[in-house]
C-alpha cells in the first residue's frame, strides 16, 4: 500500500500570485461581453453561458437575464467573489486531473490551475500526453504537449506563458 501524503494548503502568496496571473490572462470586465470563443462572459472569465454559473449569480440576487444583456455592472468585490468560486472549482478539477498536484513545483501548480480555469475539466482531460508528462515530472515534454494543441493556437500568449512556467520548473 502506498503511503498517504498530506497535501499542503495553498499559501496567501500562492493564491494572490495565481489571481494576478489569471487576471493578466483574462482581464476584468464589469459588464457582459463575448469572449474569444463566443461565450457570454463577465468579470474575470466568468462564463455566463454555464447554467451552474447562472444559478450562482441568481443566488447572489442578480437578474441573470439583465446581467447577460449588459444592463448590470458588477462591482469589484462581486467580480472577486465570482473569481473565487471559479478558481476553487478549477483547483478542484486540476487536483482531480493530476494526483498530488500540490507536490509539484508552484509554477506547475499555477499553470495547471490556470489551464483548468480556462478550459474546464472536460477539455483539460483531453490533454492526455501533457498529464502523463506532468505525473512523470517531465516538464519539458509537458510544455511541448501543451503547445501542440488547438488550445495553444486559440489562446496564444497565455499558452506560451503557461508552457514556459512548466518547462522551466525544477
* pLDDT above 90 for 167: yes
Pick from 46, 57, 48: nearest CA to 87:
46
**Cell numbers at residue 41, please?**
462572459
* pLDDT above 90 for 144: yes
- Specify the pLDDT at position 100: 86
Under a CB-based contact definition with an 8 Å cutoff, are residues 124 and 115 in contact?
yes
- Specify the pLDDT at position 3: 44
Read out DSSP for 94-162? HHHHSTTGGGS-HHHHHHHHHHHHHHHHHHHTT-HHHHHHHHTT-HHHHHHHHHSSHHHHHHTHHHHHH
* pLDDT above 80 for 110: yes
Q: What would the mean pLDDT of 127-147 be, rounded to a whole number? A: 97
Which phi and psi angles does 31 have, rounded to 5°? -115, 155
pLDDT in tens, 66-106: 999 999 999 999 999 999 999 999 999 999 999 889 999 99
* pLDDT above 50 for 4: no
DSSP 90: H
3-state helix, strand, coil in the chain (%, to 5): 65, 5, 30
How far is it, in rounded angstroms, from Cα 141 to Cα 50? 33
Domain boundaries, the chain: 12-167
Provide the β-strand partners of residue 43: 29
How far is it, in rounded angstroms, from Cα 26 to Cα 35? 9
Q: Average pLDDT, whole number, for the chain? A: 93
- Specify the pLDDT at position 88: 96
CATH number 3.40.50.720 is the correct assignment for the domain at 12-167:
no
Amino acid at each position: 500500500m502506498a503511503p498517504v501524503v498530506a497535501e499542503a494548503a495553498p499559501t496567501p502568496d500562492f493564491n494572490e500570485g495565481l489571481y494576478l496571473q489569471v487576471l493578466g490572462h483574462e482581464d476584468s470586465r464589469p459588464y457582459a461581453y463575448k469572449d474569444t470563443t463566443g461565450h457570454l462572459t463577465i468579470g474575470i472569465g466568468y462564463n455566463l453561458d454555464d447554467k451552474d454559473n447562472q444559478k450562482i449569480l441568481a443566488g447572489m440576487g442578480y437578474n441573470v437575464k439583465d446581467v447577460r444583456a449588459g444592463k448590470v455592472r458588477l462591482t469589484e468585490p462581486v467580480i472577486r467573489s465570482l473569481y473565487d468560486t471559479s478558481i476553487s472549482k478549477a483547483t478542484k478539477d486540476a487536483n482531480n486531473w493530476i494526483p498530488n498536484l500540490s507536490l509539484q513545483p508552484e509554477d506547475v501548480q499555477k499553470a495547471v490551475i490556470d489551464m483548468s480555469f480556462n478550459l474546464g475539466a472536460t477539455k483539460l482531460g483531453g490533454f492526455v500526453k501533457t498529464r502523463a508528462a506532468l505525473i512523470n515530472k517531465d516538464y519539458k515534454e509537458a510544455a511541448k504537449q501543451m503547445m501542440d494543441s488547438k488550445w495553444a493556437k486559440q489562446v496564444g500568449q497565455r499558452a506560451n506563458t503557461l508552457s514556459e512556467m512548466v518547462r522551466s520548473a525544477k
